[in-house]
Amino acid sequence: MSANAVFSRLVGTGSALPGRCVSNPELQQFLAERGVLTSDEWIRERTGIEQRYFASGDETTTSLAHAAAQKALEASGWSPSDCDLIIVATSTADQIFPSTACMLQGLLGNHGAACFDVQAVCSGFVYATSIADALIRAGQAQKALVVGSEVFSRIMDWQDRTTCVLFGDGAGAITLQASDRPGILASRVHANGSLSGILCASGRVQGGEVWGDPFLRMDGQGVFKQAVSVLGQSAEEVLQLAGMQSDQLDWLVPHQANIRILQSVSRKLGLPMERVVSTVQQHGNTSAASVPLALDLAVRDGRISRGHHVMLQGVGGGFTWGSVLLKMI
Sheet containing strand 184-191, edge to edge, reads: 184-191, 320-327, 309-316, 251-254
Which residue type, as a one-letter code, is found at position 116? F
Q: Reduce the DSSP state of residue 73 to 3 states and report it.
A: helix
The three-state DSSP-derived secondary structure of 203-250 is: CEEECCEEECCCCCEECHHHHHHHHHHHHHHHHHHHHHHHCCCHHHCC
Choose, from 24, 110, 258, 285, the residue flagged as catalytic.
285
CA distance 4 to 179: 9
Choose, from 115, 164, 200, 255, the residue flagged as catalytic.
255
Asked whether the beta carbons of 120 and 314 are under 8 A apart, the reply is: yes
- List, in sequence order, every residue forming a beta bridge with 57; answer none if it has no partner: none
Asked whether the beta carbons of 92 and 150 are under 8 A apart, the reply is: yes
The question of whether 122 is a catalytic residue gets the answer: yes
* Alpha carbon separation from 263 to 94, 245, 271, 286 (Å, rounded): 34, 19, 9, 18
The question of whether 111 is a catalytic residue gets the answer: no
Choose, from 83, 122, 164, 200, the residue flagged as catalytic.
122
The question of whether 285 is a catalytic residue gets the answer: yes
Asked whether the beta carbons of 20 and 56 are under 8 A apart, the reply is: yes
Q: Hey, how many other C-beta atoms are within 10 angstroms of the C-beta on 260?
A: 16
Q: What is the CA radius of gyration of the chain?
A: 19
Positions annotated as catalytic residues are: 122, 255, 285
